Amino acid sequence: MKSYRKELWFEAPKRRQIIHITPQIEECLRESGIQEGLCLVNAMHITAAVFINDNEGGLHSDYEKWLEKLAPEKPYSQYAHNGYEDNADAHLKRTVMGREVVVAVTNGQLDFGPWESIFYYELDGLRKKRALVKIIGE
């Protein structure tokens, strides 16, 4: 069995931003040479998420609105975590959106359903953060 590991680095210019990363993951898969196996992608920061869904701007806007209703950024004083940083909402939003995704690899391709793409969701940006890509298989 082969194993491949790579870190993808991001620096979102806004506090929250959804970044389509399917092309980078497909490039990692090509680099790995793995034809059959599993691909894990996970955010390596507790204020970022990785998820799979449709690459459609309206849906991404809906995520922003929905998550802001669930865990509003302000007022910062509503959260016990806030003090040193003002990012308690980002921690909560990450819990909802998830830490990682796993995609089957079949015939050297990500084995997606219709309309599926992979996204990195920065929830407390303006600094460098990373996601891990780990691919195992033959």
Residues 57-110: tens digit of each pLDDT: 999 999 999 999 999 999 999 999 998 789 999 999 999 999 999 999 999 999
Mean pLDDT of the chain: 97
State residue 83's pLDDT score: 85
State residue 102's pLDDT score: 98
> For the chain, which domains are there?
2-137 (2.60.120.460)
Starting from the edge strand earliest in sequence, which strands make up the sheet with 100-106, in order?
Answer: 2-11, 128-137, 37-43, 100-106, 109-110
How far separated are the first and last CA of the chain, in Å rounded? 5
The DSSP secondary-structure symbol of 15 reads S
State residue 126's pLDDT score: 93
